[in-house]
Amino acid sequence: MAGAITDPKEAEGRITLSRIQAKDQIRSSDLVDEGRGPSLAYDIPKGMRAIAIQAGEVMAVGTAVKPGDRVDILGTYANPVSRQETTQMILQNVLVLAVNKGQTDTQGNVGANTSMTLAVKPEEAELLTAADRIGALRVALRPVQDKTIIPSTGVEARDFLGSRTFEMSAEAPDAAKATPIIINPPSSHQQRPEVKIYRGTQVQTVTTE
């Protein structure tokens, strides 16, 4: 094998870049000199890129994110079309390569509190950079082994401020639609409950038996 080490002295005092199984042939390219240590570049999956984003206690799930975890990235930005503040999952099931200042130990006690380095596709790196530039990012930590991708069109401010419900309730009654029935509970001076039936603009009150 090209570059194979045949003299054990050539491997003395050097560090392996990856796990070496029993009876594996060791090459010079598998080792680095002591003090250098392996580069993060060796941990990046094929076809992916490493990119870092900021991390804080709230943004990074209370500093719970550690190397080896999988996360979803949410972006909040002003939608230029709807003119509404929109939050959307822009990336899902993203591998965390390192946290803070290049910490890659999956068993470390410290989670992300200043930054996290993610493994993404080149085009996803562009998307993530743009989202970070125009809006605010937040990370959601995934359970172990959960690879589910959830279709999402995002959530706008009006989706939870009640404007859609208000618009629907403000519509004029339509006689062609199903007739709504509202039952009013009896008051202290009522012996029997009443039922109000709406047909278009007409209202009929019926006393129940």
DSSP 87-130: EEEEEEEEEEEEETTTB--TT-S---SSEEEEEE-HHHHHHHHH
Between CA 177 and CA 182, with CA 180 as vertex, the angle to 5 degrees is: 170
Question: H or E element: which one contains 169?
Answer: helix 163-169
State both tokens at 20: 């070496």
Say if residue 176's pLDDT is above 60. no
**Whole-number pLDDT of residue 188:** 47
**Whole-number pLDDT of residue 186:** 45
Say if residue 43's pLDDT is above 70. yes
**Whole-number pLDDT of residue 175:** 45
- Amino acid in position 57: E
Lowest mean pLDDT among 16-25, 45-54, 195-204: 195-204
Q: Considering the entire predicted model, what is its pTM?
A: 0.60
100-105 own/partner pairs: CB under 8 Å, 24+ apart: 100/55, 102/40, 103/67, 104/40, 104/43, 104/67, 105/67
CB 71 within 8 A of CB 90: no
Say if residue 182's pLDDT is above 50. no
What are the phi and psi torsion angles at 150 (to 5°)? -100, 120
**Whole-number pLDDT of residue 198:** 58
More confident residue, 66 or 178: 66
Share of the chain above pLDDT 90, in %: 34
Locate the domains of the chain by residue range. Answer: 8-38, 44-163, 172-207
Lowest mean pLDDT among 10-19, 30-39, 174-183, 199-208: 174-183
